[in-house]
Amino acid sequence: MKITVLDGYGLNPGDLSWERIEALGDLTVYPRTADEDFDRHAAGADILLTNKTILTAERIARLPRLKYIGVLATGYNVVDTEAARRRGIPVCNIPAYSTPSVAQSAFALLLAITNRVEHYAAENRQGRWSRNPDFCYWDTPLTELAGKTMGIVGMGHTGTATARIALAFGMKVLAFTSKSQSQLGDDIRKATLDELFATCDVVSLHCPLTPDTRHLANRRTLALMKPGSILLNTGRGPLVDEQAVAEALASRALGAYGADVMETEPPAADTPLLAAPNAFLTPHIAWATREARLRLMDTCADNLRAFLDGKPQNVVNK
């Protein structure tokens, strides 16, 4: 079996091993695949593994030997799954590998906003504390999370893990979810989307990107939020209308925005959020802890072994 990884650098820039996958076939790993290189890189592959390289119906049709597509991520919108299904090609993803890491990242963003550790560490490297006439100083608002209310949109694996952390911080938790109140338990209260935006001190987005959730955070829903509220997005970039968020930050209607994802990645240099006040942005790294990437690599190998044994798992296009 010829196995080709189209864009392996994001998963493994050199600190992990491909050996479990290499043991299953003739492996070729490309760091990246530009559009003009796709046909050359994918030619002759029986198995394609992709993270962000797009597999359209047209591209799949040009690969007569292709028997399996593995997505090196949870989301699989980069693959035309229906075109693959018509060819009898299973598309397998990696579910829930990054749940602890993404929930941790949501709170890393929140704590960056409420405690501003990076700001004070940078000031102190420049000698500010040493020059200070008093034993302490602060020039940003410092906020205690205990007693505040976090609203979570989407209570899948990551939303649920984020809720647990919020509860551990002494926060109240509201959830907009298809789950029933009995499924949420006593510590989390089910709410409508408008109620969640209007009443919560922090709103954290963890839902899938669908036509219904695209720009879920928009001018109307942002206008519902209390002055000084915080919006977090570690889900998908297009869950928010970035122009509306930038405007809300500029007018101080929104207290802060913390996000690990953007509508376009990498973002254009003139993307409004990059220069917006109180926008705390990380470059899509919530998933990228070594622990999460090891789980991803192991599940990818497990998926591939299951396929070769005639029992494919984590198939998203049955």
Residue 55 pairs with which residues in a beta bridge?
Answer: 79
Question: Tell me, what DSSP letter sits at residue 190?
Answer: E
- Separation between Cα atoms, residue 120 and residue 248, nearest integer Å: 26
Between strands 230-233 and 68-71, the pairing is unpaired
290 is an active site residue: no
> Residue 226, class by beta-carbon neighbours within 10 Å (0-12 exposed, 13-18 middle, 19+ buried)?
middle
Pairing state of beta strands 149-153 and 47-50?
unpaired
> Which is catalytic among the residues 41, 59, 236, 293?
236
Closest alpha carbon to 151 in 139, 162, 135: 162
Strand-pair category, 256-259 with 26-29: unpaired
Task: Report DSSP state, residue 134.
Answer: S
To the query of whether residue 293 is one of the catalytic residues in this protein, the response is no
Residue 123 burial (10 A CB sphere; 0-12, 13-18, 19+): middle
19 in catalytic set: no
CB 302 within 8 A of CB 273: no
Which entry of 19, 82, 144, 265 is annotated as an active-site residue?
265
Active-site residue (options: 87, 214, 284, 305): 284
Active site residues: 236, 265, 284
